[in-house]
Every structure is written in structure tokens, then in C-alpha cells.
Structure 1
Amino acid sequence: MPLPSQSAQVGPPTVRIVGLSAVTLATHDMARALRFYLALGFAMRYGGERASFSSLEGGNVRLNLTTEGSDRHWSWWGRLIFYVSDVDALHRQALACGLRPDSDPRDASWEERYFHITDPDGHELSFAVPLHDSTAPGDAS
């Protein structure tokens, strides 16, 4: 079914989505998940290794982790994509911390440099930076 056009709307303006507050991922092992995300540079907001719920932050992104029982299984659900200031440096940091990225950093046809990594619970992450943008994440311009 086609979406109504803006000109066809009657009454008050439609509420718009203005941002993403947080993403919550499930884990079977909070301590293991926190070690992984802290090694990638996320900062702890609250929770901890023994908590059933923890919240981290990276820039303006909140990443929540919630513990699910070992009887809960999930399959591929998608991929989170985070912009970072230096993809190659983060890749080197991940390797230095003993993490195993799924790929080396590479330039994509969609004008980003990126690499993928999968967390210990199977959640796919991508870290990227625009290739030709003078206002890349972290720039002070």
C-alpha cells in the first residue's frame, strides 16, 4: 500500500523520528560482552560484569546489554553500523586487545572505509568513516 504524500495530510503535523536513543543487545555472558565492547572503546555508563543490564556509550550512541538465559537462541538479525574517527586505528586496537575482526578495513563503493566484527554473542557490527567528507565524525569543523 503506498504511503500518503505530505500534501495529502490533513490536521496537525506528523510526529517525526528525530534520533536513536539506544540499541539493546542480548548476551549470554555479561562479563564477556563488556570486555568485548570496552576493548572497542565504548565507555561504561552503569551496570557491570555481574549486572543483568548494562549501558555503554560511544559518542552520542547508547548501547545496552541485557542478559538472557542460555536457553534463548537468536539468529542473524542485522548489523549495527557505528561511525568512528579512525577505522584503521580501531582495527589495530581491536587486534591488540585480542579481538578477531571479520575483515580488514577496506574502502567501499558507497564511499565509506569500514570493517566488520562479530561480538561473542553473534551480533554483527560495522565500524566506518566516510571517505570524502570534510566533516567526518570527530572533526571539529
Structure 2
Amino acid sequence: MIESISAITLGTHDMARAVHFYRSLGFELLYGGEAAAFTSFRVGTGYLNLTAQPEDKLWSWWGRVIFYVADVDETYAQARAAGWQPSTTPHDAEWGERYFHLTDPDGHELSFARPLRGP
């Protein structure tokens, strides 16, 4: 049985820009940084990694990474305060989560969510 996801690694064409983006949202930098070819952030018990890719390496929509956060509305406000433009506003979904979507500077779609409490 699969127990968990250890990490997800996303490609970036501009490590400095990507590191700035994730740090502005509160991700904790563990390894690498703006000038590195590989960077790692802590995400709960797992990791979000960034790997530098050459400009000719292109990708298209591949899916979405969903991060659970303590407070969706606070995370949305933090993203807006950092100058980012989420593609949705926080709202409650019929499947029982409150969430919003934000695309990183390299085109990776992120969702920040929290399970809704029952009645």
C-alpha cells in the first residue's frame, strides 16, 4: 500500500522568480535558493522541489498540486498582498473543502484548501 507522497518536483525556467513566489506564500526554504539548480521547500511532512530547466523545455497543463493550509482566506490574502493574482477567490466546494487556485510564474496550477467542518 502507498503510504504518502514524499515530494513533488516542478520545473522552472527562472529559479530566482520561483523561489521568490513560493517564499512570498510562506513556504519554508530548506535547500538551494535563488541561484541554485535545485531547491527544496518543506510542505508539512513532505517537500516541494524546484528544478531548473532550460528555456527550450516546455510543458503544458499537467494537473494541479493541492496544499492543505490552516486558513484558506488568510493564505489568499497573503498571496494578494504579495502581488499575485489567484484565478479564483476562496469558496466552499460541494465535496467539502474551502479552496482557491493560483498559478505560479511557470504555469503550474496550485490549489490551497482546507476541509470544511461538519454541521
Question: 1:107 is matched by which residue type in structure 2?
Answer: D
Q: 1:5 maps to which residue?
A: none
Query: In structure 2, what is the Cα distance between the partners aligned to 1:101 and 1:108?
Result: 17
Superposition RMSD in Å:
1.2
Q: 1:58 maps to which residue?
A: 43
The higher relative CO (CA closer than 8 Å, separation ≥ 6) is in 2
Deviation per residue, 1:89-141 (Å, 9 max, x gap): 000011011111111100101010000000000000000001115xxxxxxxx
Q: 1:99 maps to which residue?
A: 84
TM-score by length of 2: 0.96
Q: Which has the higher strand share?
A: 2
Are 1:41 and 1:58, in contact at CA under 8 Å, matched by a contact in 2? Answer: no
Residue ranges of structure 2 left out of the alignment (5+ in a row): none
Q: 2:93 maps to which residue?
A: 108
TM-score by length of 1: 0.82
Residue ranges of structure 1 left out of the alignment (5+ in a row): 1-15, 134-141
User: Which of these two proteins has the greater Rg computed from alpha carbons?
Assistant: 1
Q: 2:64 maps to which residue?
A: 79
Q: CA deviation at 1:40?
A: 1.0
Size of the alignment, in residue pairs? 119
Q: 1:90 maps to which residue?
A: 75
- 1:1-141 matches, cutoff 5 A: 16-132=1-117
